Amino acid sequence: MKIKIEGLGVDYGAHKALDDVSFEGNPGEVISVIGPNGSGKSTLIKCIAQVHRPSRGTVCLNDRDATSMDPNEIARLIGYVPQNFHYLFFSTVMETVLLGRKPHIKWRISPHDLEVVQDALDSMNIRAYAGKFMDQLSGGEKQKVYIARALAQEPELFLFDEPTSNLDLKHQIEVLEITRKLTKSRGASMIVALHDLNLAYTYSDAVIVLNKGRIYACGKPVDVLTPATIQAVYGVEAMIVESDFGRHIVPLKVKT
């Protein structure tokens, strides 16, 4: 999906959580948003998802202003997975993923809807849990279920707020690899807030570095994720190591 964010700003009283954020995204692109805690990553994702109303600025999806769209129309365009979610204690995994079909249905579930749900479960490798209850799952399993729910929504834009926060190493890589592949194959887009700089480096086409609600740097990972940027934004000295497997960011120590 074509995304155009212009002059986005969010005020909490006098505090500017986001200020003058502008960028563009093209179909098939994976954009990571990185930055220290409280830099406005979640707020930015929420504003794009239309879950949070910005104080200023516009979000254009496929050249249309999102604020003028019907909520159900947005629901068919954007699949959002928040960082904190409520657990559906008495719902099964299948039912939770089925929620993703809500924008596409009126009342009845068609065989096609169930197929989409099955595909979503298969993509995340969690069909074995389909009949399990949400409160019987581990934190990481739940996170994958919620991502599968967004997949079942069949949106043109995925918005993930730290989708790997509850996952172990293997599943972090797995989730990002799968979602990236799906984004590419569906011609969708993906904006993902991440803490891990190496994951951001490996899996994104563009990186946005937020600092205190403003864009500090924005561009290709190789240009943006430099020791200078990391030091300026995180206050951490880092070095880049080249190996046979690519470039790796190695944090060294807190800059005093």
Partner 1 sequence: MQETGESRAEWKEVNELYRQRYLKRLALLGTISALLVLAVLYSASVGTAPLSIGDVFLAVMHNIAVKTAGIPLIGQLFALFGEPQSGTAEVIVVNMRLPRIMLAMLTGVCLAVSGAVMQGVLRNPLVSPFTLGLASAASFGAAITIVLGTGILGLFIAGGSNYDIIINAFVFGLLSMMLIYGISRVRGTSQATLILAGVVLGYIFQAGVIILKYWSNNDKLKDLEMWLMGGMWGASWNAVLILLPIAIVCIVLLALKAWDLNALSAGDEIARNLGIRVERLRLYCLLLATIAASSCLAFTGVVGFIGLMAPHICRMLIGNDHRYLIPCSALMGGLILLLSDTFARTVFSPLEIPVGIIMYIIGGIFFLYLILRGKESHIY
List of residues contacting partner 1 (CB under 8 A): 46, 49-51, 70-76, 78-82, 84-86, 88-92, 94-96, 99-100, 102-103, 105, 107, 109, 111, 114-115, 117-118, 121, 127-131, 133, 135, 138, 140-141, 144, 146, 149, 153, 168, 171
Helix (H, G, I), strand (E, B) or coil at 181: helix
CB of 44 to partner 1, least distance (A): 14
CB of 25 to partner 1, least distance (A): 18
CB of 205 to partner 1, least distance (A): 24
Structure tokens at 116: 């989409």
φ, ψ dihedrals at 230, nearest 5°: -60, -40
Say how far apart CA 125 and CA 27 lie, in whole Å: 26
CB of 173 to partner 1, least distance (A): 13
**How would you class 181 by CB atoms within 10 Å of its CB: exposed for 0-12, middle for 13-18, buried for 19 or more?**
exposed
CB of 91 to partner 1, least distance (A): 5
Which residues have a Cβ under 8 Å from the Cβ of 20 and sit 6 or more positions away? 7, 8, 9, 57, 214, 215
Nearer to partner 1, 78 or 225 (CB): 78
Nearer to partner 1, 75 or 199 (CB): 75
In the chain, at which residue ranges do the beta strands (DSSP E only) sit?
A: 3-12, 15-25, 30-34, 56-61, 64-65, 78-81, 157-161, 189-193, 206-211, 214-219, 236-243, 246-254
Nearer to partner 1, 13 or 111 (CB): 111
CB of 226 to partner 1, least distance (A): 34
HEC string for 197-256:
HHHHHHHCCEEEEEECCEEEEEECHHHHCCHHHHHHHHCEEEEEEEECCEEEEEEEEECC
b (16+ CB within 10 A) / e for 106-138: eeeeeeebeebbebbbebbebbebbeebbeebe
Nearer to partner 1, 70 or 242 (CB): 70
Nearer to partner 1, 135 or 223 (CB): 135
* Cβ atoms < 10 Å from Cβ of 173: 15
Nearer to partner 1, 99 or 178 (CB): 99
Nearer to partner 1, 22 or 138 (CB): 138
CB of 33 to partner 1, least distance (A): 17
